Amino acid sequence: MVEVGGSKNDSVAIMAGALLVPGKTVLHNVPHIRDVFTLMEIFRHLGVKTDFRPDGALEIDATRLTTSEAPHDLVRKMRASFNVLGVLLSRFGHASVAMPGGCDIGARPVNFHVKGLEQLGCRLHLEHGIYTGEVRRFRGANIVLEFPSAGATQHLMIAACRASGKTIIENAAAEPEIIDLADFLNACGAHIYGAGTASICIEGVEELHPTEFTVIPDRLQAGTFALAAAITGGDITIRNAVQDHCRPVLAKMRDCNIEVTSVEEGYRVRRVGKIGATDIKTMPHPGFPTDMQQPFAALLTLADGVSMITETVYESRFRYTTELARMGADIRVEDRTAVIHGVDRLTGAPVTCTDLRGGAAVVVAGLAAEGQTEISGLEHLDRGYEGIVPKLQSLGANVTRTPIH
């Protein structure tokens, strides 16, 4: 049995939303991961008091912000940090935030964010990789996203909370993290309707108030553990996982002869027979999540037959396939499609984490490979997986982490 921690993508979005709230916000089930610590460091630079309490809850006191300029070197470390731009504009009327960083998986432009903020009434200027902006007060607008970007949807939801008038976001993202962010903001006094659908309505309010809130479980972490069990022929129970959030991944696992059954507070994963081949096409929620195609590809390297994965969200998300090939995988990448011919076995090799989810792919593959697999670049994995080594060890995996001297 393994227990899933709080969602990375949910935590960082809610933390950004907490900056809108003058007072002390308490968040439960926030994971101890690098992205969270980076955002906490950014908050402290802004004058926000934030720390984990002894009971594990994260406390954020954004009563007093001392600067509207986010530290550019920290913002460039993670994409979600760009969401502080809308908050700082709302609180100060002016802000300066660098272009965000994160995993190198292809172009992830912030133009959806920028265009939406401008429609809410602010003026933004980009120079030397830094956005500066000013606004007297955000005003409600009808915003139509060109793509249902989760990050842009979250950013604009937060920015519109204290706008004058009504904001409607059309073609909005519908991930579970969008719904949970809306639940958090509403608990703080916001008026948000329609989260989880393609049309979200935000009626601006004058002020938000502090609240205590619990972050949802990490569906991507749950999926990674499920794939680890499937590739090794294991039988595990994943607790604190919401099966409905993982539905697209679990449906594809069933296609591959993986048995998934509901249990109290989670689900059980067990492989029955050979791993079956399948085809996957990543899509915005409720389609197959782009963040799960990499670890799922590791499973398909040992499938009986030929599988195809088509990536429609990010154009450079197949860099990890070179690492799987080092382990004996037969993968050919053609534009945005990876063709995977299942092989009889994988063998251990020195590999690296090319990005966060690419790191999950080589970990999943390494669990099933014959011999020893040595994985470098763990700083990527640390951005999204809390305690992955002890959790895998608790399931019987022979895995250790060696400190770098």
Please write the tens of the pLDDT for every residue from 1-35: 999 999 999 999 999 999 999 999 999 999 999 99
Which tokens sit at 258? Answer: 């993986």
pLDDT band at 107 (very low <50, low <70, confident <90, very high): very low
Q: Residue 63: its pLDDT value, please? A: 95
Specify whether 20 is located in the same domain as 169: yes
Specify whether 209 is located in the same domain as 131: yes
In this prediction, residues 58-83 reach a mean pLDDT of 88
- Catalytic residue positions, numbered: 103
Q: Residue 85: its pLDDT value, please? A: 94
Specify whether 165 is located in the same domain as 28: yes
Rounded Cα distance, 65 and 87, in Å: 11
Q: Residue 17: its pLDDT value, please? A: 97
Specify whether 165 is located in the same domain as 256: no
Specify whether 273 is located in the same domain as 154: no
The DSSP 8-state label assigned to residue 56 in this structure reads: S
pLDDT tens digit sequence for 320-355: 999 999 999 999 999 899 999 999 999 999 999 999
CATH number at residue 125: 3.65.10.10
- Please check whether residue 403 lies inside any domain of the structure: no
Q: Cβ of 42: how many Cβ atoms within 10 Å? A: 24
Q: Cβ of 95: how many Cβ atoms within 10 Å? A: 25
Rounded Cα distance, 71 and 88, in Å: 13
Unique residue bearing structure tokens 């951005």 = 383
Specify whether 59 is located in the same domain as 89: yes
In this prediction, residues 300-310 reach a mean pLDDT of 98
Specify whether 233 is located in the same domain as 138: no
CB 4 within 8 A of CB 222: yes
Specify whether 210 is located in the same domain as 330: no
Rounded Cα distance, 303 and 282, in Å: 19
- Please check whether residue 402 lies inside any domain of the structure: no
- Please check whether residue 179 lies inside any domain of the structure: yes
In this prediction, residues 258-264 reach a mean pLDDT of 93
Q: Residue 101: its pLDDT value, please? A: 61
Q: Residue 404: its pLDDT value, please? A: 65
What is residue 278's three-state secondary structure?
Answer: coil
What is residue 10's three-state secondary structure?
Answer: helix
Q: Give, in order, the Cα–Cα distances in Å from 75 to each of 7, 244, 276.
A: 20, 33, 42
Rounded Cα distance, 63 and 405, in Å: 41
pLDDT band at 357 (very low <50, low <70, confident <90, very high): very high
Specify whether 250 is located in the same domain as 350: yes
pLDDT band at 102 (very low <50, low <70, confident <90, very high): very low
- Please check whether residue 400 lies inside any domain of the structure: no
Whether the pLDDT of residue 104 is over 70: the answer is no
- Please check whether residue 242 lies inside any domain of the structure: yes
Rounded Cα distance, 358 and 353, in Å: 6
pLDDT tens digit sequence for 139-198: 999 999 999 999 999 999 999 999 999 999 999 999 999 999 999 999 999 999 999 999
Domain boundary (214, 248, 280) is at: 214
CB 338 within 8 A of CB 329: no
Domain boundary (186, 214, 242) is at: 214
- Please check whether residue 404 lies inside any domain of the structure: no
Sign of the CA dihedral 168, 172, 173, 176?
A: positive
Specify whether 260 is located in the same domain as 129: no
Q: Which residues span the domain enclosing 282?
A: 219-394
- Please check whether residue 399 lies inside any domain of the structure: no
In this prediction, residues 302-326 reach a mean pLDDT of 92
Residue 106, φ and ψ in degrees, nearest 5:
115, 175
pLDDT band at 265 (very low <50, low <70, confident <90, very high): confident
Q: Residue 266: its pLDDT value, please? A: 92
Domain boundary (214, 229, 251) is at: 214
Q: Write out the DSSP string of 170-226.
A: ES----HHHHHHHHHHHHTT-EEE-BTBSEEEEE--S-----EEEPPB-HHHHHHHH
Whether the pLDDT of residue 109 is over 70: the answer is no
**pTM for the full model?**
0.95
- Please check whether residue 82 lies inside any domain of the structure: yes
Specify whether 19 is located in the same domain as 154: yes
Q: Residue 103: its pLDDT value, please? A: 47
pLDDT tens digit sequence for 209-239: 999 999 999 999 999 999 999 999 999 999 9
Give yes or no for a cis peptide into 217 (omega within 30° of 0): no
Q: Residue 100: its pLDDT value, please? A: 78
Q: Residue 73: its pLDDT value, please? A: 85
The DSSP 8-state label assigned to residue 347 in this structure reads: B
Specify whether 202 is located in the same domain as 293: no
How many domains is the chain partitioned into structurally? 2
